Structure 1
Amino acid sequence: MTPTAKANQYILAVDLGTSGCKVGLVSTRGQVVGWAFEPVQMMVVDAIGAEQRPDDWWAAFIAAARQVLALELVPRERIVAICCSTQGEGTIAVDRDGKPLMNAVIWLDMRGARHLKQQMRGSLKVAGYDAVKLQKWLRLCGGAPALSGKDPAGHMLLIRNAFPEIYKRTHKFLNVLDYFNLRLTGRFCATQDSILTSWVTDNRDPAHIRYDSGLIATSGIDRDKFPDLVRCTDVIGTLLPAVAESLGLSARTPVVAGAIDNTAAAIGAGTCADYDTHLYMGSSSWIAAHVPFKKVNVFNQIASLPCASDTRYLMMAMQSSGAANIAFLKDRIVFHKDGLIDAEPSVDTYRVLDEIAARVPAGAEGAVYLPWLFGERSPVDDPSLRAGIINLSMEHNRETLVRAVFEGVALNTRWMMTPVGRFMGRPVEELTLIGGGAMSNSWCQIFADVLNVRIRQPEDPVKANARGAAFIGAVGLGLMRLEDVPALVTIDRVYEPNRANRGLYDERFGVFKELHKRLAPLYRKLNGSKGRAHGQV
């Protein structure tokens, strides 16, 4: 097939994040010709729980997809597949008809922590885990359940113990991607990356991920509640007739299994070669790179995990709150509806915040922001941490706060950099920055300065996940190889570290770590087992 012919074929690519659903019409050469977004609400439950309604996800997808398709940008017959990328580490309990039995428990939810700790109790503890169970998880999975309860291993136990009637009626537990694929095709299945954080699969051979009966027994969840396994690039079926009719597409349109967001992002960023590293800055944040080995660092919560490749793993170090801190600043501080100021955010709000951050001097005039809105995962797994602003004075103002928030997220990312470099056996010298946060030019420069690395800003960085889903779909249809992807991703701008700021940010990073060391015991006292944040479910 010629490059021209490939360019004339398109994937309807879905990118469902925590903030909403993006749908792109993407050519198999990576050109995004159509784009729409529909927001989705998140609910905080019992201070440490986080839920979303699966029906809201689906409604947002249908609305965004219809917007894109209504533009008639390409003939419908040239749309050759649908492929999804979604937020990961969510849990949806569905019945035999595929109907959700309760709200989805999403990746921020920590209510399962105490149930998980009960399940893994043992006589000998290592880093908070039962030593025997930990050894098996590390050997077979390449990782272990999050002690914070923020993954399906904890979510499923929460449902089993706190909602026993729901558990009894559950036919399958699905991750977010799996739920979308069910709604598209009617098939109950999970990909090798979506199943990962259930911690029940033998991942030693990336080409043959399979369930392990011993790990399933350890999980405490009945075997029949787990879906069948497929690869990210598998064609899992065609559109259900009702879905096809709703979208105006052929019912013969293939659906490729797709991937959770970190897997798709690594592809969409063009970082497909070993050790080529990207930084994702969306609601959450992570550093990731493909590597040729399976390995884990339990103490810093870094692991190399199954991904879209059948021959390699994806190194992942994830932090709980990235650009969510900027959204918090916008929605809860600047435009919070409390009657004080009658104003509404506009499409220019993030641009204005970017401009404010750029004009405030490096160092935020001494103010330091701690970006732990919902606990942290890497390099410390501590659900009790919370955000804070330190060292405010009478001379400071809202502009100071804006710059401090941007810098605080970057300092938190720097906290991961050393363990990530040790994990990969080489320092990180360059990062491709993607996600909504990568649209901020000032933030790109702040990251370059704080991390002391070169930052590559690709074209349309907010569309990287959808572009990655499209590339995975094209690979699944045999239209390209993963090795072809880097040549299709355009880098718009490169940011070099400003040497004049090196000493300042080295000093500020030391302060950041010292603040964590001194405040962590107080956070545990405020938000630990006796605090409101860890109340009974």
Structure 2
Amino acid sequence: MKYMIGIDIGTTSTKAVIYDEAGNFLNKHSIEYPMSTPEIGVAEENPAEIFDAVLFTVKKVIRETGAEAKDIKLLSFSSAMHSLIAMDKDNQPLTECITWADNRAREYADMINEQHNGIEIYKRTGTPIHPMSPLSKIYWLKHEHEDIYNQTKKWIDIKSYVFYQLFEEYVMDHSIGSATGMMNLESLSWDKEVMSLLGIDESKLPNLVSTTHIMKNINKKYADFMGISENTPIVIGASDGVLSNLGVNSYREGEVAVTIGTSGAIRTIIDKPKTDDKGRIFCYVLTEDHYCIGGPVNNGGVVLRWLRDELLASEVETAKRLGVDSYDVLTKIASRVKPGANGLIFHPYLAGERAPLWNANARGSYFGLTLSHKKEHMIRAALEGVLLNLYTVYLALVEVMDKSPEQIKATGGFAKSEVWRQMMADIFDTSVEVPESYESSCLGACVLGLKALGEIEDFEVLNDMVGKTYQHEPNQENVDIYQSLIPIYINLSRKLTEEYDLISEFQATHS
């Protein structure tokens, strides 16, 4: 038997998943690592710890599967986007791995937007101007940490760091490159105007390569440690978001994938790069013929956790005693209330927001509260609010695509809830299907690896690898209710922009 291994370098953990050649899941191992948040806005991790997690997870799945080095067909990588590490002349990190969640570049993202025509930079690069992007982070370091900026030989991301350790070569795939805010989508090269803005040239950045780029002759000590051959093909792969679409078999025109974990995202694949005149969505590379447009939201399952911990303490205790999942209790309570929660609207911006507002100062709120509203209405409104927020990103996608998607494929923890799945079908007025796919980003990486090896010409093989579980059709009566609420929901968030800034400033001053 031959084996494929997908490695996903995530924000909170790295996982390695081993499949057979047909894409059947065989084994998985993951290792968590801490995120350092010593003060507001800081979100960093230790790159050496993450590299160790890559080595140990691969070693573990190979050993537990009983696979021999000669039978490992390929390793292929998925990775979280927007990370930044400054490397010095001796190829040692000058910084920790600054993650997408780090918000210290906020002021400088605003500066790029206002003083350097940020919308035009976005249109060329596909990454909205936001503190998450390496573009904003380097611009911040240039102004606030001149010592680090001047000592930096290479600006890289976490996957480039891992590949440097394995091969002593600085490379970055087009997918991760397209999420830096520094790569031109048309030429697939570093954008000259952005280089000028940052005061750097291409020599300070990794070499850009295709997502199907194969590397061999890995450092022998690491090959021996993991249990692979030095000549095992190592495919650089792509970012976790675009690979997740691939891994749930959602890469054709008209198919949309929605993922809700702690945060969330909505994405669809198109054949040419496209951006949005209003700057609401991203455009990232999957391959030279596949581009992923969509938007990430900060507020997904994190809103449910807040509800559970702050509003449902007694119900959660009862659920624990009965051995019932606390989130099932939450959605069951929400199901007692009619769609629309009797006119109660919740904006779920508990953690600021990326798409569609791209406003780190956005704050959560209930609107429409009356004496007739009870706890169950607040819960229902919050669940609806998360989906209504995603729906506003969906509207931007439809605008850019010039057509309405035929189906949504829903993944992530929320897809376990029948109530939430049906709610999505009703809010989006579209058929919702839950694919059966194990660790979609890792599977997507492996299928991309098969294409890199020339064993498949397209991605049709996914039809046999990815099954279906649940299917939901919209309920027209509920659709009509939500269509009445959506304009109110959207107009409110637009009108509160100034108030978001003011309350954020107040909270920073008086917390």
TM-score above 0.5, yes or no: yes
CA contact (8 A) 1:231 1:308 kept: no
Aligned with 2:361 (options 379, 384, 399): 384
Q: Which residue of the partner structure matches residue 460 of structure 2? A: 484
Query: Where do 1:47-446 residues align within 5 Å?
Result: 47-72=40-65, 74-96=67-89, 98-118=91-111, 120=112, 128=114, 130-131=116-117, 134-135=119-120, 138=123, 141-143=124-126, 145-146=128-129, 148-205=130-187, 209-305=188-284, 307-329=285-307, 348-350=325-327, 353=330, 355-358=332-335, 361-364=338-341, 367-390=344-367, 400-446=377-423
Tell me how far apart the structure 1 counterparts of residues 491 and 452 of structure 2 sit (CA, whole Å): 48
**Residues 246 and 297 of structure 1, relative CA distance in 2, 3 Å threshold:** same
> Displacement of 1:10 after TM fit?
2.1
Q: Would you say the 8 A contact 1:272–1:485 is kept in 2?
A: no
Q: CA deviation at 1:228?
A: 0.8
1:153 offset after TM fit, Å?
A: 0.5
* 3-state DSSP of counterpart to 2:278: coil
Contact 2:259 2:410 survives alignment (8 Å): yes
- Alignment correspondent of 1:475: 451
Query: Relative to structure 2, which stretch is displaced further, 355-364 or 465-474?
Result: 355-364
Distance 2:344 2:171 in 1: 48
User: CA offset at residue 329 of structure 1?
Assistant: 4.5
Tell me if the contact between 1:45 and 1:51 (Cα under 8 Å) persists in the aligned partners. Answer: no
Q: CA deviation at 1:66?
A: 4.3
How much does 1:409 deviate?
0.9
Please identify, of 58-67 and 489-498, the stretch whose mean Cα deviation from structure 2 is larger.
58-67
Alignment match, 1:124? none
2-structure distance, mates of 1:190, 1:347:
45
> Does structure 2 retain, via aligned residues, the 8 Å contact 1:303–1:317?
yes
Does the residue aligned with 1:198 lie in a helix, a strand or coil? coil
Code of the residue aligned with 1:406 in structure 2: it is: L
Q: Which amino acid aligns with 2:185?
A: N
Q: Deviations over 1:491-513 (max 9, x none)?
A: 22211112232233223333422
Residue 368 and residue 383 in structure 1: after superposition, are their counterparts in 2 closer, same or farther (change >3 A)? same
Fraction of identical pairs, as percent: 23
User: How far is 1:419 from its partner?
Assistant: 1.9
Q: 1:96 to 1:351 in 2, by over 3 A?
A: farther
Between the aligned partners of 2:355 and 2:62, the Cα distance in structure 1 is 40
- CA separation of 1:511/1:245 partners in 2, compared to 1, >3 Å: closer, same or farther? same
Matched residue SS, 1:483: coil
> Greater CA deviation, 488-497 or 357-366?
357-366
Q: TM-score, normalised by structure 2?
A: 0.87
Partner of 1:242, secondary structure, is helix
2:78/2:238 contact within 8 Å kept: yes
Deviations 1:193-225 (A, max 9, x none): 1112333333215xxx22243331123335432
Alpha-carbon contact 2:262-2:302 (below 8 Å) kept: yes
**Pairwise CA distance, 1:64:** 3.8
Contact 2:280 2:396 in 1 (8 A): no
Structure 1 residue 181: deviation in Å?
Answer: 2.6
**Offset at 1:260?**
0.8
Q: What SS is found at the alignment partner of 1:376?
A: coil
In structure 1, give the amino acid aligned to 2:149. Answer: Y
How many angstroms apart in 2 are the aligned matches of 1:431 and 1:32?
24
The answer to which of 496-505 and 45-54 deviates more is 45-54
Residue ranges of structure 2 left out of the alignment (5+ in a row) = none
Conserved? CA contact 2:108–2:140, under 8 Å: yes
**What is the CA–CA distance in structure 2 between the aligned matches of 1:403 and 1:64, rounded to whole Å?**
39
RMSD: 3.4
Q: Secondary structure at the match of 1:308?
A: strand
SS of match in other structure, 1:414: helix
8 Å contact kept, 1:111–1:149: yes
Matched residues in 2 for 1:40 and 1:350: separation? 25
Instruction: Letter of the 2:290 partner, please give it.
Output: R
Contact conserved, 2:141 with 2:149, CA < 8 A, in 1? yes
**Structure 1 position 518, deviation (Å):** 4.5
Across the two proteins, how many residue pairs are aligned to each other?
A: 508
- The corresponding residue for 1:455 is 432
**Distance in 2 between residues matched to 1:182 and 1:324, nearest whole Å:** 34
In structure 1, the residue matched to 2:8 is 15
Residues 83, 350 of structure 1: alpha-carbon distance in 2 compared, 3 angstrom cutoff: farther
Alpha-carbon separation, structure 2, partners of 1:183 and 1:420: 38
Q: Contact (CA 8 Å) 1:47, 1:532: kept in 2 or not? A: no
Opposite residue 474 of structure 1, the aligned amino acid is L
